[in-house]
């Protein structure tokens, strides 16, 4: 797994995609931070992270789109499956590499709030809540990206497919607000909604169910990715 | 050779695992809702309510009345809303304190369904009790009792629930006044009759949000009125002249114009027993027509021999070093006894006030300390002290009740930062005027303002903000440059 992780990290920093991801991430983070705090004259943590959540829904599919689809396209997939590493190890290695890229960028951009300390007290609990929520949401989005990437050899299809699933998970919570729904259906939709769960963390509200939700959704997609490769290995 | 090996049991296991995870999440979600398996990391603000309801609701509770308070979004949405969560907690406090009197209800304004899927008809609430249009959003709240209702909708900010907060001049919340506003709205629907307070306009007046809110909490509908265009309506309980910058109109001598002038309209209103609340900025140039109207009530400015207004300054009883933000006292006398009963030893702060000169029926309400001095053009002109800063007066009418006037020579009495300080009694003083002087009845006295952390970035200039932005934008530029360098080097190897 570590070997796969190192290989992926090397690929990010010797190829274009890593730099494109980081440059785009920090460009948007800088502009959004300036717009939501500096030029608004408010130490508003929640608005910044809400924007970054929506941006992550676009940028993370681009980060993950070539994870497996590139391997299939270049026919190096066979090498991976016959390598002395389990499929789980392979998937986890790729997950870890993408996650480290994302988490590193997120944590570094969270340091921007240090700029505001001389001007207003920062609500640390809300900041930590937002960062934790973004890390969990990122894990989910990357897992979805890996799964969709494993299904196709076309990187663009992988990116678009990932964005579609992510946006569907984000939009689920809106359905109960916009359409007449029974209470049990509303409860179900809110339970499945990434955004509804995210809002709790942004208010400094740490809830076991939401933590389990994010980990289990990520777990499901990783499990499905492993299943895809498990089937492919025996074909 | 195709060694396809399908494993149906593996696929079944996959489906089972996914279903198990979904069920686990639903169970855990239910448990968290039921047993509160969560931690609030943010420091909790004390939103406990005092005894304001004991006075305001006493009669209604005795008669067995019930007030329904309907939030226009579901309960967990209100509880998670950035500003609504405060109102929600206040509502829960009131419900807990008066369980048989206050009932909370949650309905989604978009779907018109409550939490159990029952339809809630919003049609009735689309107009207020006077027939004016009500806007209902998900951040609206409907108070109702025995067919009397009031819809509270934030018409000022995008956050929602602004009426429960004190806003500064940029419409940013500075304090939370939920206890006062909630109690006032409950009291509102217990009484079907409400008068209207009219702010005059057309002279540069400032109808401050804080004064607007205080009037609403006192039980008034609040409207604006341009006296150049129409007369004062019959439902006017109070006319407010707040910080006019230009003078009112009076018919020129010998004029044959038949339309009533502004002064004539004010006189007509006074003759039928009207009430006036006048706040003047001492730094505004002289307004002879308006001041002549005030002089009929015996209220005028204490001027120098040259006719200059005198600004009161006090170095001992002031809360700012320049001496212009004064801690005032209630004037001695029987006439201040009802107010004294309400604010007791409370102190009222006023900034930038001029001394008043009283005659006739006018009586002092607020005075500066004995150590205060008067200044005009920066020069001390009088050192007598105990200057009158606010006064009340009445004007007898033959065929109607006396007209009443409260006048103050400062525009700071109802300013946002004066109202939100719990250490001073500006708010209760204003309420006592509405109660004891203008006869509106019970008021929400003694409610606490909770300072709202609006996280304003103090002392950050736009120039500094641009420098920070430039530094932040430099980061991706450096990353892109590093990337180009690395890739070009690899290609050239």
Give me the interface pTM, i.e. the ipTM.
Answer: 0.83
What DSSP character marks residue B248? P
Q: Could B486 and A19 be called an inter-chain contact, meaning their C-beta atoms sit closer than 8 Å?
A: yes
pLDDT band at B4; cut points 50, 70, 90: very low
Higher pLDDT, B378 or B348: B348
Grouping H, G, I as helix, E, B as strand and the rest as coil, residue A207 is strand
C-alpha distances (whole Å) from B487 to each of B55, B480, B481, B483, B490 are 77, 11, 10, 6, 5
Q: Please tell me the total number of residues recorded for chain B in this structure.
A: 493
Is a pLDDT exceeding 80 seen at residue B42?
no
B254, two tokens: 């010998």
User: Looking at the predicted structure, is the pLDDT value of residue B84 above 50?
Assistant: yes
Question: Among A26, A115, A204, whose Cβ lies nearest the Cβ of B476?
Answer: A26
Three-state SS string over B466-487 comes to: HHHHHHHHHHHHHHHHHHHHHH
Confidence of residue B39 (pLDDT cuts 50, 70, 90): low
Among A176-185, B93-102, B433-442, B445-454, the minimum mean pLDDT is found in A176-185
The label of the residue with tokens 């050239």 reads B492
Indicate yes or no: CB of A183 within 8 angstroms of CB of B117: yes
The whole-number pLDDT of residue B1 equals 40
Judged against a pLDDT cut of 50, whether residue B3 lies above it is answered with no
A227: pLDDT confidence band, cut at 50, 70 and 90?
confident
Q: How far is A145 from chain B (nearest CA, A)?
A: 18
Return d(Cα A203, Cα A224) in angstroms, integer. 32
Share of chain B above pLDDT 70, in %: 93
Q: Which helix (H) or strand (E) holds B346?
A: none
A70-84, pLDDT tens digit by residue?
777 777 666 666 667
Strand partners, A74: none
Chain A touched by B396 (CB under 8 Å): no
| Best-predicted range by mean pLDDT (A139-148, A197-206, B172-181) | A139-148
Task: Give the bridge partners for B349, in sequence order.
Answer: B327
Q: Contact, A135 vs A45, CB < 8 A? A: no
Q: Classify strands B373-376 and B311-313 as parallel, antiparallel or unpaired.
A: antiparallel
Provide the chain B residues 25-84 that lie in CB contact (below 8 A) with chain A.
Answer: 25-26, 28-29, 31-32, 37-43, 74, 76-77, 80, 82
In B192-307, where does DSSP find H-type helix?
209-217, 262-271, 288-296
A39 touches chain B (CB under 8 A): yes
CA distance A233 to A154: 20
Cα angle for residues B242, B245, B247 (degrees, 5° grid): 95
B198 in Cβ contact with B225 (< 8 Å): yes
Cβ distance A220 to B486 less than 8 Å, yes or no, reads no
pLDDT confidence of A177, banded at 50, 70, 90? low
Band (B356; pLDDT cuts 50, 70, 90) = very high
Residues pairing with B380 in the sheet: B375
Give, for A60, the enclosing helix (H) or strand (E): helix A45-64
Rg (alpha carbons) of chain B, rounded to whole number: 30
Concatenated DSSP letters for B190-222? Answer: T-S---EEEEE-SS-----HHHHHHHHHTT-EE
| Residue, of B288 and B30, whose pLDDT is higher | B288
Residue A210 has pLDDT above 80, yes or no: yes
Segment 57-96 of chain A within 8 Å of chain B by CB? none
C-alpha–C-alpha distance, residues B270 and A203, integer Å: 53
Which whole number is the average pLDDT over B315-337? 84
Residue of B nearest to A127 (CA): B42
Task: Answer whether A6 touches B (CB < 8 Å).
Answer: no
- pLDDT, tens digit, 9 for 90 and up, residues A64-121: 988 787 777 777 666 666 667 788 888 899 999 999 999 999 999 999 999 988 888 8
> What's the Rg (C-alpha) of chain A?
19
Q: What is the mean pLDDT of residues A38-43?
A: 84
Burial class (CB in 10 A: 0-12, 13-18, 19+), B103: middle
Q: Does B169 touch chain A (CB under 8 A)?
A: no
């Amino acid at each position: 797994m570590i070997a796969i992780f190192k290989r992926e990290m090397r690929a990010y920093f010797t190829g274009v995609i890593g730099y494109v991801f980081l440059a785009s991430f920090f460009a948007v983070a800088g502009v959004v931070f300036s717009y939501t705090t500096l030029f608004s004259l408010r130490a508003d943590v929640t608005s910044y992270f809400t924007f970054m959540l929506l941006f992550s829904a676009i940028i993370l599919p681009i980060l993950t789109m070539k994870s497996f689809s590139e391997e299939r396209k270049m026919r190096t997939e066979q090498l991976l499956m016959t390598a002395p590493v389990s499929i789980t190890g392979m998937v986890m290695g790729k997950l870890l590499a993408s996650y480290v890229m994302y988490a590193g960028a997120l944590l570094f951009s969270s340091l921007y709030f240090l700029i505001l300390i001389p001007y207003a007290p920062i609500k640390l609990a809300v900041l930590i809540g937002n960062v934790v929520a973004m890390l969990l949401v990122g894990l989910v989005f990357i897992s979805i990206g890996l799964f969709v990437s494993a299904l196709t050899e076309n990187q663009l299809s992988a990116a678009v497919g990932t964005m579609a699933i992510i946006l569907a998970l984000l939009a689920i919570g809106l359905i109960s607000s916009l359409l007449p729904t029974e209470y049990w259906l509303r409860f179900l939709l809110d339970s499945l909604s990434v955004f509804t769960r995210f809002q709790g963390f942004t208010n400094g509200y740490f809830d076991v169910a939401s933590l389990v939700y994010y980990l289990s959704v990520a777990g499901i997609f990783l499990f499905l990715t492993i299943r895809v490769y498990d089937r492919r290995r025996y074909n | 050779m195709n060694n396809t090996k399908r494993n149906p049991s593996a696929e079944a296991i996959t489906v089972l695992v996914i279903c198990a995870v979904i069920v686990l999440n639903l169970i855990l979600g239910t448990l968290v809702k039921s047993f509160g398996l969560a931690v609030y990391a943010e420091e909790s603000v004390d939103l406990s309510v005092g005894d304001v309801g004991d006075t305001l609701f006493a009669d209604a509770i005795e008669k067995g009345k019930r007030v329904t308070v309907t939030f226009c979004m579901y309960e967990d949405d209100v509880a998670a809303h950035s500003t609504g969560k405060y109102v929600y907690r206040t509502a829960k406090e009131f419900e807990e304190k008066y369980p048989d009197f206050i009932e909370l209800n949650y309905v989604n304004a978009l779907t018109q369904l409550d939490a159990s899927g029952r339809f809630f008809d919003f049609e009735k609430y689309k107009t207020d009790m006077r027939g004016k249009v009500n806007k209902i959003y998900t951040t609206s709240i409907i108070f109702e009792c025995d067919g009397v209702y009031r819809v509270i909708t934030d018409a000022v900010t995008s956050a929602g629930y602004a009426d429960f907060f004190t806003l500064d001049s940029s419409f940013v919340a500075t304090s939370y006044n939920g206890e006062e506003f909630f109690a006032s709205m409950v009291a509102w629907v217990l009484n079907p009759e409400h008068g209207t307070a009219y702010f005059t306009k057309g002279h540069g007046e400032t109808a401050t949000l804080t004064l607007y809110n205080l009037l609403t909490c006192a039980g008034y509908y609040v409207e604006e009125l341009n006296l150049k265009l129409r007369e004062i309506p019959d439902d006017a309980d109070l006319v407010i002249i707040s910080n006019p910058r230009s003078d009112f109109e009076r018919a020129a001598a010998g004029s044959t114009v038949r339309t009533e002038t502004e002064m004539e309209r004010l006189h007509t209103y006074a003759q039928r027993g009207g009430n006036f609340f006048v706040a003047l900025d001492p730094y505004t140039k002289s307004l002879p027509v308006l001041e002549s109207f005030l002089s009929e009530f015996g209220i005028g400015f204490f001027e120098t021999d040259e006719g200059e207004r005198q600004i009161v300054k006090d170095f001992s009883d002031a809360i700012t070093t320049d001496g212009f933000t004064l801690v005032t006292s209630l004037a001695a006398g029987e006439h201040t006894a009802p107010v004294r009963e309400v604010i007791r030893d409370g102190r009222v702060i006023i900034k930038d006030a001029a001394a008043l000169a009283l005659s006739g029926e006018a009586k002092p309400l607020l005075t500066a300390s004995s150590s205060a001095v008067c200044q005009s053009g920066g020069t001390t002109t009088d050192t007598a002290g105990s200057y009158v800063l606010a006064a009340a007066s009445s004007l007898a009418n033959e065929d109607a009740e006396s007209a009443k006037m409260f006048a103050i020579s400062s525009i700071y009495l109802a300013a946002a930062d004066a109202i939100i300080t719990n250490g001073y009694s500006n708010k209760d003083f204003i309420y006592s005027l509405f109660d004891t002087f203008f006869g509106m009845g019970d008021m929400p006295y003694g409610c606490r303002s909770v300072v709202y952390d609006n996280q304003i970035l103090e002392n950050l200039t736009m120039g500094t903000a641009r420098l920070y932005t430039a530094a932040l934008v430099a980061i991706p530029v450096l990353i892109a440059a590093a990337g180009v360098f690395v890739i070009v080097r690899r290609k050239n190897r």
